Amino acid sequence: MEAHSRSTLPLAILAVALAFAAGCVTVKPQQRSVLADPIMQFEGDPQASAQLRHAIDNREGSYGGGGVAGGGCGCN
Amino acid sequence: MRLQLTSLARVLGRSVRGPARSARAAGAAAFALASALGAGPLASTARAQVAEVDTAHTLYHEAPTRTNMTVYTPGVDAAATPADWITVRGGYEADIVSGASVATKAGSAYQSVNPGVDVITTASVKDFRHAPRGGFTLRKGDVAYTASYTYGTENDYKSHSIFVGARTDAYEHNTQFEISYARNFDSVCDRVQAAGDTPPRFRALEDSSGCFTNDPLRRRRPLSIDGLQASWTQAWTPTFATQLVYTAQLIDGFQSNAYRSIIVAQGLKAQEHHPDVRVRQALALRLNWYVRPIKVALRLTGRAYRDTWDVTSGTGELEAERYLVEGLRLAARGRFYRQTGALFWSDDYTGGDPPLGPKGQYFTGDRELSPFWSIGLGARVTYLIHPTPKPEGGTSRLLGIFTNAKLGASVDAIQFSYDEYTLAGVPITNARAYIIGATAGAAF
């Protein structure tokens, strides 16, 4: 348990640091046409993606980490 | 929008008649809804439209050694956005299952002691599941709040699932954070065991007759699922974005397959016996990059998973998608998955050399808890149709009704390779699953 905590703590710190660093990133609204396109959505077709993911989940011993909708354009 | 596949997952869980997978799928349902809510190309224009309707159909088929399973899942959902600040939705889904699953499991050690005996048995599976659902999303500024409820009912399983989630934008909309929580209150049908018996002498449920009635030979086993998911989606450049997703789930209750028996000793078979508590965690990182020179969107996913049953896994996925013509997209994908077995997994609990032999107080015949790897290939085509804008302005409509419409179809094949799982020493062959999907949607 302790070893597990040691291994996850740096990852958690890195994720938080990156989240704050993300504030320095600026993609202007007029530059978001590609990000807003359906082809750049993480769940490009939410229905189809959900179908496949859950079908697979039920043939495997693991679960979680599924995609979340949106392409990072803040336009959904 | 839709979570029709959540019930496919439920049904696939039923295909081996295992509440564990039922629980997993039910828990997953909420997050699938979270993903679908406010998502997709249709939803991106939700505030400009009044209502939308989606229907989806999925066919799953597999026929490995001595078993087979076919699942058809039709579903329909409708959503209305009467004002910018609110969307309400409702839907219904059914699962139609037929096939045959393993009812009694043994391994090679037992078979070597009992040569010529066909100890493996299978049972036919036929089921029909109904799952109505409803929910709403409230929006204020850059924040959206969602709540939903799903009720699932079938002969041997009842489920009440609630979901709440929130999503917000930050850093000039270059960042999205989302967090959600889901809770399931489920009941699993089981048989009443003889007084004084312990798990190694428990008998498996014969069938679902009498379940959820006053039948003195049946009982309800509770199962609760708490799920938490948090995600961070980030646009780094005009053509590159990432997404980090963390999922945690606590399952507490009856997670065994009530119908499955395991040969635990010579002349002794017992109902599958899993631990009551399972804590699962997964962390996934997705990279989404649009390669301008070849006009292709590349999606790369890596996922790590671990749970308290000592199942660990790693997943790698690569998908490439591009427009063939305006509105018509084609995607191709590949996936590799590898997992370890559960701490209490053994292909034969009666003896033999490691990794065979007893593994403590629990025993399972679930091949999804054995070590294996799989590889999958698939393709998807999506056609999004927008009406031609009117030269004079105003809202254009397809067929005079729809503001837009979408059609989709997909096909996937997955090959599984089991390191240890056998049916009385006979390895599983033809462990290949085929999944065909079709979706259609329209907005008004």
In sequence order, what are the residues at sequence separation of 6 or more whose Cβ sits closer than 8 angstroms to the Cβ of residue A70? A41, A42, A43, A76, B39, B176, B233, B243
* Chain A residues touching residue B384 (CB < 8 angstroms): 38
- Interface contact A75-B36, CB threshold 8 A: no
Q: Give the pLDDT of residue B391.
A: 73
Q: Which stretches of chain A drop beneath a pLDDT of 70? A: 1-8, 23, 44, 47-48, 51, 67-76
Q: What is the pLDDT of residue B7?
A: 34
| Residue in chain A lying closest to B374 (CA) | A60
B193-224 per-position pLDDT tens digit: 999 999 999 999 999 999 999 999 999 999 99
pLDDT class for B13, splitting at 50, 70, 90? very low
- Residue-level pLDDT at B135: 97
Number of domains chain B contains:
1
Q: Which residue has the higher pLDDT, B183 or B18?
A: B183
Mean pLDDT over the full length of chain B: 87
Please report the number of interchain residue pairs, chain A to chain B, with beta-carbon separation below 8 angstroms: 286
What is the DSSP code string of B373-439? Answer: EEEEEEEEEEEEE-PPPPTT-S---BTTTBSEEEEEEEEEEEEEEESS-EETTEEP---EEEEEEEE
Judged by CB atoms closer than 8 Å, whether chains meet at A60 and B247 is answered as: no
Output the pTM of the full model.
Answer: 0.87
Residue of A nearest to B300 (CA): A42
Contacts of A73 in chain B (CB under 8 A): 173, 235, 241
Q: CB under 8 Å to B440, separation ≥6 — which residues? A: B54, B55, B56, B405, B406, B407, B408
Candidates B7, B125, B171: best to mutate against A (most CBs of A within 10 A) is B171
pLDDT at B5: 28
Gap from B390 CA to chain A (nearest CA, Å): 22
Q: Which residue has the higher pLDDT, B236 or B4?
A: B236
Q: Does the structure show a pLDDT above 80 at B47?
A: no
Encoded amino acid at B321, one letter: E
Per-residue pLDDT reduced to its tens digit, B379-433: 999 999 988 777 777 777 888 788 899 999 999 999 999 999 999 999 998 899 9
- Over residues B51-69, mean pLDDT: 92
Residues of B in contact with A42 (CB under 8 A): 233, 241, 243, 286, 288, 299
Which residue range(s) make up the domain with B230? 4-443
Who among A40, A56, A70 is closest to B290 (CB)?
A40
Confidence grade of residue B20 (pLDDT, cut at 50, 70, 90): very low
Q: What's the CATH number where B143 sits?
A: 2.40.160.40
Question: Least CB-CB distance to A54: which of B9, B172, B414?
Answer: B9
Report the percent of chain B where pLDDT is more than 70: 89
Tokens of B264: 């635990």
Q: In this model, does residue B104 exceed pLDDT 50?
A: yes
Of residues A1 and B113, the one with the higher pLDDT is B113
pLDDT in tens, B267-294: 899 999 999 999 999 999 999 999 999 9
Query: Does B233 reach chain A within 8 Å, measured CB to CB?
Result: yes
> Residue B42 has what pLDDT?
37
Percent of chain B with pLDDT over 90: 74
- Determine the pLDDT at residue B390: 74
Binned at pLDDT 50, 70 and 90, residue B187 comes out as very high
Query: Residue range B5-17: average pLDDT?
Result: 34
Choose among A33, A62, A67: nearest Cβ to B245.
A67
Question: Comparing B296 with A20, which gets the higher pLDDT?
Answer: B296
- Chain B: closest CA distance from residue A63 (Å): 7
The encoded tokens of residue B316 equal 């790698």
pLDDT category at B316 given cuts 50, 70, 90 is very high
Higher pLDDT residue, A55 or B437?
Answer: B437
CA–CA separation, B150 and B161 (whole Å) = 5
Give the mean model confidence (pLDDT) for residues B24-30.
Answer: 45
In the prediction, which pLDDT does B36 show?
A: 45
d(CA B159, CA B184): 7
User: What does the pLDDT average to over B301-317?
Assistant: 96
Phi, psi (rounded to 5 degrees) for A50? -65, -40
Measured in angstroms, the CA of A11 and the nearest CA of chain B are apart by 11
Of B3, B44, B313, the CB nearest to A76: B44
Mean pLDDT of B317-325: 96
B79-86 CB contacts, 8 Å cutoff, 24+ apart: B79/B1, B79/B46, B79/B51, B79/B52, B79/B53, B80/B50, B80/B51, B81/B46, B81/B47, B81/B49, B81/B50, B81/B51, B82/B50, B84/B47, B84/B139, B85/B138, B85/B139, B85/B140, B86/B136, B86/B137, B86/B138, B86/B139
Q: What is the pLDDT of residue B230?
A: 95
Q: What pLDDT score does A12 carry?
A: 75
Whether residue B25 and residue A41 make contact (CB cut-off 8 A), yes or no, is no
Q: Are B223 and B253 in contact (CB under 8 A)?
A: yes
